[in-house]
A and B are shown apart, each in its own frame.
Chain A
Amino acid sequence: MGKPQRISLKEAAALINDGDLLTFSGFTIWRRPMALVYEMVRQQKKNLHLFEVNGGTHTEVLAGAGAIKIWESCWVGHELYGKLGEGVARAQVEGSMIVEDYSHAQVVARLIAGAYGLPFFPTALSMGTDILNPKFDMLGKAGMRDGSNPKIPLKKYDVIKDSLYDKGDILLMPAANPNWALIYASQVGDEGTVRVFSQCYVDSEAIKAADKVIVIAEEIVPDSYLRQEPEKNLAAGYAIDYVVELPWGAHPTGSQFFYDVDADFIREFYQASKSQDAYAKWADKWIFGVDSHEEYLEKLGINRLENLRANSVLGYSTSIKRGTR
Chain B
Amino acid sequence: MNLLNNYFLNSAFFAQSGTESAVPTAVSQVVDSAVPIQAWTNSMLVPIVLGAVGYLFIQHGVVKSKAYFAAGAVAVLLAVGFALGFTPGTFDSYVLMAFCAVATGGGIGFLTAREPVYAALGFATAVLSVCGVLFMQSALFIAAATMIVYAGATIIIFLFVLMFAQQTELRTYDVQLNNPLVAAAIGAILLATITMCVTKNNAILPVRVDSTRVMSAASLPDSLSSEAGKEASKKLDAIDPNLRYVPKLTAGLGRSMYTDYLLAVELAGTVLLVATIGAIALAQRTTETQS
Q: Do A and B truly interact?
A: no
Contacts from B to A (Cβ < 8 Å): none
Footprint of B on A, CB under 8 Å? none
